[in-house]
Structure 1
Amino acid sequence: MSIMKKTSLFAMLIMVMLVAAACGDKADNNAKSNDSTAAESTTAGTDDAASKSDDTDKTSETGTDSTNTSSEENNASDDTSKVELGTTQKGSYTNDYFGVSLKFPEAWQFQDAEGMNELTSATSEVIAGDDATKKKQIELSQAKTLNLLMASQYPLDGSKVGPSAMAIAEKVSLLQGILTGKDYLKATKKFMEDSNFPYEYKDFTTETIGGKKMDLMQITMDAGDGTTITQDYYSTIIEGYAFNFIFTYMDEQTKSEIDNIKKSVQFK
């Protein structure tokens, strides 16, 4: 497979598997932390049990369904039941849950969520190769990832690289150490470096897009034919999700097209 095509595939998939690497590194620490917490809470077990018993009595008195209460609590911590993938039409994308909209050239190709899922599943085989650990990381990340938008000047099969715009969101938690968009991008960079992607990285910066501050990581890659591919990775935390844009361009002309898309972004 050519460097150019591999680069396109990386661009399409990389944001789907960002936090998985960081989560894997933190899993053992979290487990140890949980064990420690469990041990510390033993002395308070009697009080906790009494408190729960009181709550149960109150629930019975009021006739509240405890199953429904539990469900509501789960939904409060995991809003997947409310999340929407948004609407992609010719030249535009809107998503009320994340409160975002943007426009892209009407002549561009685009994929819906189902098409993106199929594409990223196929591409994951290229990224992971025979590395079972990396494959597991990708699978874990894909399970929590919302593929929202994929629009490109050229067909999205990786055969030709052109300017493109993507939007992806991934469920994160404080336990993962992902508190800001910058934290998410740091995990991205680590994954890329560990995977030996041939990228050059610029310093993290912050930029306002559509009225919202987003952390930015810019990377470049030599495509091997005199072309330099630039990708701007934007990230911010919205409703417990790392919401991300990836904009890809090659030269001043394609950068101008991407700049127009950025200017069209609006957050409510």
Structure 2
Amino acid sequence: MTIPKKASLFAMLIMIMLVAAACGDKADNTTTTEEPAAKETTTGTNSETANTEETENTEPASEESKETDNSQDVELGTTEKGSYTNDYFGVSLKFPEAWEFQDAAGMNELTSASSEAIAGDDETKKKQIELSQTKTLNLLMASKYPLDGGQVGPSAMAIAEKVSLLQGIRTGKDYLEATKKFMVDSQFPYDYKEFTTETIGGKEMDLMQITMDAGDGSTITQEYYSTIIEGYAFNFIFTYMDDKTKAEIDTIKKSVQFK
């Protein structure tokens, strides 16, 4: 399905909105209390373990950080043709071997390039996005068509963002509510359905479904799934346009397995 260039751009931008949203209005309140997850970086592809060496800190860690700071064990997982696995989050899934996929470096380039378009001249949004990006692990991006083309098709994405009780993020629903607020405040032309829960791969996840007019009489639908794992909001984002592409996404969802 070929859609207007503007709608195509929105479809790509919406895929990464979740990485900018959870901190939201709480960004200023957490910058002085949490170590930025930018230390969770990788020098190669997402098949390597993230380098999480911490800087020295002479002050004793808070009880909350003792409970949730498992960053030294975090890994970005392994993406291969047709599959993704991540032992830290205990998840695996399969996608069509013919699909395009991005490693962590490719996803980082996409998020960086899109941040300016999302924030525009809004300095507050720029700060929110920059803070969130330092705390976000880009894990998987698999799509039927290249992201730099004018053709938008079904896609599957996985990301994880370090969260804190200080942000009020205790459940996947909390994270999605912060995401929705960011999107509404950004005045993007999305329609939102009521939050629900769904079991995927044996794990219950909170779900936010949004739709967008593609501009040619068709509709782009995205499903945002979120749950809290080891102090991270772990998220899937699935995109489809019609019954045929929804069936492709449903097949991917059925392949998800949590340990």
Q: TM-score, normalised by structure 2?
A: 0.84
1:10 aligns with 2:13: yes
Aligned-partner Cα distance in 2 for 1:206–1:25: 30
1:157 Cα offset (Å): 2.1
2:22 aligned residue (19, 24, 27): 19
Which residue number in structure 2 is paired with residue 98 of structure 1?
89
Aligned-partner Cα distance in 1 for 2:227–2:28: 22
Aligned-partner Cα distance in 2 for 1:75–1:107: 43
Which residue number in structure 1 is paired with residue 196 of structure 2?
205
CA gap of 1:82–1:75, structure 2 versus 1, over 3 A, is farther
Aligned-partner Cα distance in 1 for 2:85–2:170: 25
Aligned-partner Cα distance in 2 for 1:17–1:26: 16
Which residue number in structure 1 is paired with residue 164 of structure 2?
173
1:143 aligns with 2:134: yes
One-letter code aligned to 1:177 = G
What's the % identity of the aligned pairs? 73
Which residue number in structure 2 is paired with residue 252 of structure 1?
243
Mapping of 1:94-243 within 5 angstroms? 94-157=85-148, 159-243=150-234
1:24-62: CA deviations, max 9, x gaps? 37559x99xxxxxxxxxxxxxxxxxxxxxxxxxxxxxxx
CA gap of 1:179–1:158, structure 2 versus 1, over 3 A, is farther
One-letter code aligned to 1:9 = M
Aligned-partner Cα distance in 1 for 2:89–2:184: 30
- Identify unmatched segments of 5+ residues in structure 1: 32-66
Aligned-partner Cα distance in 2 for 1:95–1:68: 33
Aligned-partner Cα distance in 2 for 1:158–1:186: 31
Aligned-partner Cα distance in 2 for 1:75–1:160: 46
1:223 Cα offset (Å): 0.8
Which residue number in structure 2 is paired with residue 40 of structure 1?
none
Which residue number in structure 1 is paired with residue 39 of structure 2?
none
- Other structure's SS at 2:22 match: helix
1:6 Cα offset (Å): 2.4
- Identify unmatched segments of 5+ residues in structure 2: 34-56
1:156 Cα offset (Å): 1.9
1:131 Cα offset (Å): 1.1
- Other structure's SS at 1:215 match: strand
One-letter code aligned to 1:111 = Q
Q: CA RMSD in A?
A: 2.4
CA gap of 1:27–1:78, structure 2 versus 1, over 3 A, is closer
- Other structure's SS at 1:256 match: helix
On the 8 A contact 1:6/1:158 being kept in 2, the answer is: no
1:188 Cα offset (Å): 0.5
Larger radius of gyration: 1
1:121-158: CA deviations, max 9, x gaps? 00111111111111111000000000000000001225
Q: Hey, which of these two has a bigger chunk of helix by percent?
A: 1
On the 8 A contact 1:101/1:267 being kept in 2, the answer is: yes
Which residue number in structure 2 is paired with residue 50 of structure 1?
none
One-letter code aligned to 2:7 = M
On the 8 A contact 1:148/1:169 being kept in 2, the answer is: yes
1:8 Cα offset (Å): 2.1
CA gap of 1:198–1:227, structure 2 versus 1, over 3 A, is same
